[in-house]
């Protein structure tokens, strides 16, 4: 929405004429719209009803390095479409792209590099941050009451999984092999006390105080894992004598459950002599660009779904990001002038991160995806998915097929049933789609529709900042 608004303004015309946008449940386009900004999910919906993308000449897929489920599915379908539409041009884009991987996937497609128009950003890792601020980490000041409760929940969720996550083992190995001999004994002791599982609200507070007292003017973007973290940190900062002073600090939040009007506040310039501090989830990593950001504080984690195909259980937990994501976060600081990025983890831990995020296709249940694949009239789901850039493990595919057979969307020969055809049209999870259809059959559609609406979206409620405490 922000990009379409900017492009239409640069063209000197109102939004909805030659430039438009389309996202789920919202859009603005007219009969003369030639340039449409949309989500990958919207494009996939178009492909399901129009296999050849008639009337479209160019498809640009941006931020392809994020490797979401829709993007990987889209690549398989577009790769299949290109031989039929020789005139169609496909451009894949990203600032942190593994270009060779994508080029090889499309049979040696040409690549071109556009020099980045960003200013240099200095990276400070945990050891530098502790040296610079003089902050002392102990086993007590990294976890508050909220953190204790969250740590207990996380450990409870992780308890059934006996083996350690690969990245966690790499982080522990990297820490044990690093000596930090070029740093003061105080900083070395602090790093030794660092708890990798904690977000470290008090450390973030100390870094923000350092920026506000000693650094040049400029907005600050703080990357957190989710709304719970953002909300708790915001309450903690509001109680701080410096960071909670509205005459010196404008404290804003940025996450998916905010109203569009509230999201726009983060792009506005603050009043003179007031520093803007934005607490954001990873939606600020690539989706949006806030021009006046000069400082980035990166906690090094993001919430992502991990899927254990063996036990057929998904769970949403804060996980370490990839080096590509860390570079994207750092790059947010160099848009208008040279910037600074404070990574709240040691450099050796950054070097242990995987280079790119694990594709969503390899870490989430595939029920909806397999149903969409069958609606494309393909013979075998397994064969179709084996053509992916990085194919999911056969057990995960089989789990999804077994589930679709169980709810009656596929028959024993893996063909789409009448129920399956209806479910593939509905933009919800197959089991929620079946709830809707059964609700219609048993004439209790209204209450079922309300329940499905609540379950199919992350959260049906917006969280206005000024009404958060109203019960």
Closest of 258, 259, 278, 270 to residue 332, by C-alpha: 278
Averaged pLDDT, 4-12: 93
Neighbours of 59 (CB within 10 A): 18
Choose which CATH entry (3.40.50.300, 3.30.590.10, 3.20.10.10, 3.90.1150.10) describes domain 121-360.
Answer: 3.40.50.300
Contact 73, 44 (CB under 8 A): yes
What pLDDT score was predicted for residue 118?
73
Averaged pLDDT, 51-59: 91
What are 94-138's pLDDT values in tens digits? 877 778 888 999 999 999 888 766 788 999 999 999 999 889 888
Instruction: Enumerate long-range contacts of 36-39, CB under 8 Å, 24 or more apart.
Output: 37/1, 37/3, 37/4, 37/7, 39/70
Q: Where in the chain is the domain with CATH 3.40.50.300?
A: 2-105, 121-360
- pLDDT of 469 above 60: no
Which has more pLDDT, 264 or 385?
Answer: 385
Distance separating alpha carbons of residues 9 and 258, to the nearest angstrom: 24
- pLDDT of 199 above 90: no
Backbone torsions φ then ψ of 288, nearest 5 degrees: -130, 155
Domain 2-105 fold is Rossmann fold (3.40.50)
User: Residue 45 — very low, low, confident or very high, per pLDDT cuts 50/70/90?
Assistant: confident
- pLDDT of 93 above 70: yes
Q: Where in the chain is the domain with CATH 1.20.120.1080?
A: 365-456
Q: What is the DSSP letter of 314?
A: E
- pLDDT of 160 above 50: no
What are 395-443's pLDDT values in tens digits? 889 999 999 999 999 999 889 999 999 998 888 889 999 999 999 999 9
Contact 57, 89 (CB under 8 A): yes
Using a pLDDT cut of 90, give the percent of the chain over it.
34
- pLDDT of 471 above 50: no
What pLDDT score was predicted for residue 310?
60
- pLDDT of 373 above 90: no
What pLDDT score was predicted for residue 468?
54
Helix ranges (H only) for 121-240 are 126-133, 145-158, 166-177, 185-193, 201-214, 227-238
Helix ranges (H only) for 239-352 are 260-263, 283-286, 323-331, 347-352
Q: Is the pTM of this model over 0.75?
A: no
Distance separating alpha carbons of residues 117 and 119, to the nearest angstrom: 7
Domain 365-456 has CATH 1.20.120.1080: yes
Contact 201, 135 (CB under 8 A): no
Q: Which two structure tokens, joined as six digits, stand for 9?
A: 């303004």
Mean pLDDT, the chain, integer = 84
- pLDDT of 247 above 60: yes
Using a pLDDT cut of 70, give the percent of the chain over it.
86
């Amino acid at each position: 929405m922000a990009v379409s608004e900017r492009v239409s303004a640069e063209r000197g015309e109102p939004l909805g004429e030659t430039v438009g946008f389309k996202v789920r449940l919202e859009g603005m386009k007219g009969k003369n719209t030639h340039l449409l900004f949309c989500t990958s999910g919207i494009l996939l919906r178009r492909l399901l009803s129009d296999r050849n993308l008639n009337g479209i000449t160019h498809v640009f897929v941006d931020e392809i390095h994020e490797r979401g489920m829709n993007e990987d599915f889209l690549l398989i379908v577009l790769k299949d479409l290109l031989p039929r539409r020789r005139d169609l041009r496909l451009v894949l884009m990203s600032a942190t792209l593994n270009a060779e991987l994508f080029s090889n996937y499309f049979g040696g497609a040409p690549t071109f590099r556009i020099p980045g128009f960003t200013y240099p950003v200095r990276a400070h890792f945990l050891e530098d941050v502790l040296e610079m601020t003089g902050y002392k980490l102990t086993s007590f000041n990294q976890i508050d009451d909220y953190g204790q409760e969250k740590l207990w929940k996380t450990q409870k969720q992780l308890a059934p999984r006996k083996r350690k996550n690969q990245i966690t083992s790499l982080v522990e190995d990297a820490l044990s092999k690093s000596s930090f001999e070029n740093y003061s004994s105080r900083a070395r002791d602090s790093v030794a006390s660092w708890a990798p599982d904690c977000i470290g609200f008090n450390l973030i507070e100390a870094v923000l105080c350092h920026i506000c007292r000693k650094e040049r003017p400029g907005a600050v973007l703080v990357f957190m894992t989710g709304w719970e973290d953002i909300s708790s940190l915001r309450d903690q900062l509001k109680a701080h004598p410096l960071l909670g002073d509205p005459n010196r600090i404008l404290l804003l939040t940025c996450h998916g459950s905010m109203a569009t009007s509230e999201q726009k506040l983060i792009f506005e310039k603050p009043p003179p002599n007031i520093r803007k501090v934005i607490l954001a989830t990873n939606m600020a990593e690539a989706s949006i660009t806030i021009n006046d950001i000069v400082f980035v504080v990166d906690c090094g984690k993001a919430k992502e779904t991990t899927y254990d195909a063996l036990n057929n259980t998904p769970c949403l937990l804060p996980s370490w990001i990839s080096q590509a994501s860390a570079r994207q976060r750092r790059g947010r600081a160099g848009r208008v002038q040279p910037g600074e990025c404070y990574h709240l983890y040691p450099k050796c831990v950054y070097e242990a991160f995987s280079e790119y995020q694990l594709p969503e296709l390899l870490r989430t249940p595939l029920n909806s995806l397999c149903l969409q694949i069958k609606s494309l009239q393909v013979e075998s789901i397994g064969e179709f998915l084996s053509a992916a850039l990085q194919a999911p493990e056969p057990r995960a595919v089989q789990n999804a097929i077994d589930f679709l057979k169980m709810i009656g969307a596929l028959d024993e020969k893996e063909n789409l049933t009448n129920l399956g055809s209806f479910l593939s049209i509905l933009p919800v999870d197959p089991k929620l789609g079946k709830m809707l259809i059964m609700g219609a059959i048993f004439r209790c559609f209204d209450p079922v529709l309300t329940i499905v609406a609540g379950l199919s979206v992350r959260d049906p409620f917006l969280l206005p900042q000024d009404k958060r405490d109203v019960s």
